[in-house]
Amino acid sequence: MSTTAIQPHEKEIRDAEELLFTGPQRQGFAKGLFFGRFVADWVTPYPRLPAEQREKLDAVMPELRRFLDEELDPAAIDRNADIPRSVIDGLAKIGVLGMTAPEEFGGRGFSQMANCRVLEEIGARCASTSVFVNAHHSIGIRALLLFGTPEQKRRWLPPLVRGEKLAAFALTEPEAGSDAANVQTRADISEDGTHYILNGEKRFITNAAIAQVLTVMARTKIPGSDETAVTAFLVTPDMPGFSVTEPRMEKLGIRGPATGRLAFRDMRVPRENILGPLGKGLKVALSVLDFGRTTFGACCTGAAKTCLRLATHHARTRRQFGHALGDFELIKKKIARMAASTYAMEAMTTVTASLIDRGLEDYMLETAMLKVFTTEALWQIVNDAFQIHGGIAYFTDLPLERMLRDARINHIGEGANEVLTSFIALVGMRGPGMQLKEIWDALHHPIGHLKRAWRAGWDRVGAALHAPSVLVKSDALHPHAHRLSRLIWRFNLAVDRELIRHREAILDREYVQERIANAAMELFASSCVLSRWDADMQAGLMHHDRAAGLFLRESSRRARQFLAGLRDNDDEVINAAAEAVLRHDGAP
Ligand SMILES: Cc1cc2nc3c(=O)[nH]c(=O)nc-3n(C[C@H](O)[C@H](O)[C@H](O)COP(=O)(O)OP(=O)(O)OC[C@H]3O[C@@H](n4cnc5c(N)ncnc54)[C@H](O)[C@@H]3O)c2cc1C
């Protein structure tokens, strides 16, 4: 092993430091899993809304449901590729466009958990509308809420929170998609130092043409150095040099919100419009997307519930071969798995939102896991609901063809699932990787390293010898808790083994990363489900028992398979086959 073992390349470390919060933090749940720990406090007891938030939510939900029932026509929004102003105004009146903003700025002061219930309700009916709300509220005004100075908040937030102005978040460019750090839009300081002059293009921006306030990411020079870094700016469309080059790009699904292209030509942005620290735009962007990924989970959960309801009704009422479809095992399997996944999606969303509400500083892993897990689960659920309906699902009388089209963006938007999968594995493995490096350094240079290495070694050995305790209140759940504990232990051993086996090359081993990330996501999902099921049992709620039990059994089997795949796989054969096809430009 070389001394650089397990240490990511220097640039990647710098990028990671930029993206991750580096100050002292309490260990989160997902990071704990990679150390072989079950950090129980973050998932148990299953989070419930505090009374004051419950009251606020109870006051809003009937009004919201009534409005959505009477005024929201998802089919028309899809057909006309437009969300009517009356819908936007109605949502604003109910407070949806400023749900989590503090009351002093005119917002509702909702926690993220309560906000997720609102988004679940909207996501259950119309993905276009939930994407619009997310673009405005979850990512559009989030940077201001998190990083705005008191003066910026006072000036910009009130009209946005009231919905008089709309917001957008503009990061993506032709050369900066998944590689968000590759922003090419430049922001050069003016000679008198009062302005930044922006030049560049943005594409695929939700609300681009209808927003009055945009958070725009641009590359600035770091003072006193030749290097550049990304900075966030508050931009308004009345700034000379701002242009909408395409207001509404024609698209497959979520056709309601206007997704557009922007160009900036010598656009002067006042210096005081910098949002967050100069050069820390990626941190701003990633923090904002973190928040958006939580509401993604809520919207997917809502859509999954709709699919389950439609599929169940159809399976009970449609008869073929003298039986209801629900009598056939291949339909039962789909229905059971839809219910199991939906239960898990809701549990993961609730736990992840509660992490934000309870002040965990770094919840990037959990939000990334939630986004990947719920979007993949929803895709399967929509597809199963579609299949159960047969030919009738193909026609526009039912919402399923629209839901299928709408669900496709989820794998791509706010971080493509492949990129997030790698991110989960690499960020998760960083902690144990650093410990293994301490031990390695101490073996070769004992002076100065021994104390830290001793601690790291003790931690690694401890995790290898003992499965973590996973405690539940309900006796009936002990076997599930025991199985989860053993799996976390096996997962931790697998993480250490892969780090030692691949060393720094782990950065390029996406198959390994995928298996580690998938196993970690199953462990997180199972932990949330176990916690929720335990709370349900304690409260005497038994109607989800079967779905929860099925989820835990299947999730544990999937996790074991992912770990087994680290040893038994066709990775090299797949690489060789892909490279051959790539060499011949698509010819098999
Ligand atoms: C309808 C819609 C609305 C959007 N709204 C906004 C918005 O409001 N604001 C905004 O800033 N952006 C927005 N986006 C942009 C969105 O975030 C990007 O599309 C997304 O980040 C992916 O970037 P890309 O499309 O350039 O894909 P690319 O980066 O070109 O990637 C293409 C594919 O390659 C794969 N891939 C990429 N990198 C890797 C890797 N390292 N390993 C393995 N596979 C990889 C992934 O499967 C990915 O889907 C929107 C996009 C759409 C379609």
pLDDT at 362 over 60: yes
Interval between CA 138 and ligand 1 midpoint (Å): 18
pLDDT at 16 over 60: no
Using most ligand atoms within 8 A of CB, pick from 136, 204, 414, 582 the residue to mutate for ligand 1. 204
CA distance 218 to 172: 11
- What pLDDT is recorded for position 446? 66
- In ligand 1, the atom with minimum distance to the C-alpha of 206 is 8
Burial class of 194 by CB neighbour count within 10 A (0 to 12, 13 to 18, 19+):
exposed
pLDDT at 21 over 70: no
Interval between CA 71 and ligand 1 midpoint (Å): 32
- In ligand 1, the atom with minimum distance to the C-alpha of 253 is 1
pLDDT average, residue stretch 334-359 = 97
- In ligand 1, the atom with minimum distance to the C-alpha of 172 is 11
CA distance 54 to 525: 25
Enumerate residues 6+ apart whose C-beta is below 8 A from 252: 405, 408, 409
- In ligand 1, the atom with minimum distance to the C-alpha of 180 is 21
CA distance 496 to 122: 42
Q: Quote the Cα angle for 71-75-68, to 5°.
A: 25
The 3 state secondary structure assigned to 510-556 is HHHHHHHHHHHHHHHHHHHHHHHHHHHHHCCCCCCHHHHHHHHHHHH
Interval between CA 407 and ligand 1 midpoint (Å): 15
- What pLDDT is recorded for position 275? 97
Coil vs helix vs strand at 303:
helix
Interval between CA 135 and ligand 1 midpoint (Å): 15
pLDDT at 371 over 50: yes
Interval 476-500: pLDDT, tens: 999 999 999 999 999 999 999 999 9
For residue 220, the cross-strand partners are: 229
Q: What percent of the chain clears pLDDT 90, i.e. is strictly above it?
A: 85
- What pLDDT is recorded for position 449? 67
CA distance 415 to 420: 6
Interval between CA 409 and ligand 1 midpoint (Å): 9
Report residue 333 CA to chain centroid gap.
28
Q: Known catalytic residues?
A: 414
Supply the mean pLDDT for the chain.
93
Coil vs helix vs strand at 80:
helix
- What pLDDT is recorded for position 17? 47
CA distance 250 to 35: 46
CA distance 218 to 170: 9
Q: How many beta carbons lie within 10 A of that of residue 353, not counting itself?
A: 29
What is the Cα Rg of the chain in Å?
25
Residues 177, 256 contacting (CB under 8 angstroms): no
Interval between CA 417 and ligand 1 midpoint (Å): 9
Short-list 144, 115, 27, CA closest to 459: 27
Sign of CA dihedral 350, 408, 182, 165: negative
For ligand 1, atom 31, which residue shows the shortest CA distance? 178
pLDDT at 508 over 70: yes
For residue 242, the cross-strand partners are: 264
For ligand 1, atom 30, which residue shows the shortest CA distance? 177
For ligand 1, atom 23, which residue shows the shortest CA distance? 177
pLDDT bucket at 181, cuts 50 / 70 / 90: very high
Enumerate residues 6+ apart whose C-beta is below 8 A from 530: 470, 472, 477, 480, 481, 484, 552
User: Residue 271: how many CA atoms within 13 Å on its side-chain side?
Assistant: 8
pLDDT bucket at 109, cuts 50 / 70 / 90: very high
CA distance 222 to 60: 46
Residues 145, 152 contacting (CB under 8 angstroms): no
pLDDT average, residue stretch 124-135 = 97
For ligand 1, atom 41, which residue shows the shortest CA distance? 419
For residue 262, the cross-strand partners are: 202, 244
C-alpha distances in angstroms, 188 versus 241, 246, 414?
A: 14, 25, 27
pLDDT average, residue stretch 276-282 = 96
Q: Are strands 167-170 and 213-221 parallel, antiparallel or unpaired?
A: parallel
The pTM score is 0.94
Interval between CA 278 and ligand 1 midpoint (Å): 25
Burial class of 418 by CB neighbour count within 10 A (0 to 12, 13 to 18, 19+):
middle
- In ligand 1, the atom with minimum distance to the C-alpha of 135 is 8
- What pLDDT is recorded for position 456? 75
- In ligand 1, the atom with minimum distance to the C-alpha of 217 is 11
- What pLDDT is recorded for position 514? 98
Interval 429-461: pLDDT, tens: 999 988 888 887 777 776 666 677 777 777 777
Interval between CA 560 and ligand 1 midpoint (Å): 30
Residue found under tokens 């899993």: 33
Q: Are strands 228-235 and 242-246 parallel, antiparallel or unpaired?
A: unpaired
Residues 183, 230 contacting (CB under 8 angstroms): yes
Interval between CA 285 and ligand 1 midpoint (Å): 14
Interval between CA 509 and ligand 1 midpoint (Å): 21
Spell out which residues line ligand 1, taking CB within 6 angstroms: 135, 169-172, 177-178, 204-206, 251, 254, 259, 409, 412-414, 416, 418-419, 422, 510
- In ligand 1, the atom with minimum distance to the C-alpha of 207 is 8
Q: How many beta carbons lie within 10 A of that of residue 556, not counting itself?
A: 18
pLDDT average, residue stretch 99-109 = 96
pLDDT bucket at 262, cuts 50 / 70 / 90: very high
Residues 435, 441 contacting (CB under 8 angstroms): no
Interval between CA 173 and ligand 1 midpoint (Å): 10
DSSP per position, 19-34: HS--S-----HHHHHH
CA distance 116 to 96: 11
CA distance 129 to 345: 20
pLDDT average, residue stretch 198-222 = 97
Q: Quote the Cα angle for 556-561-564, to 5°.
A: 125
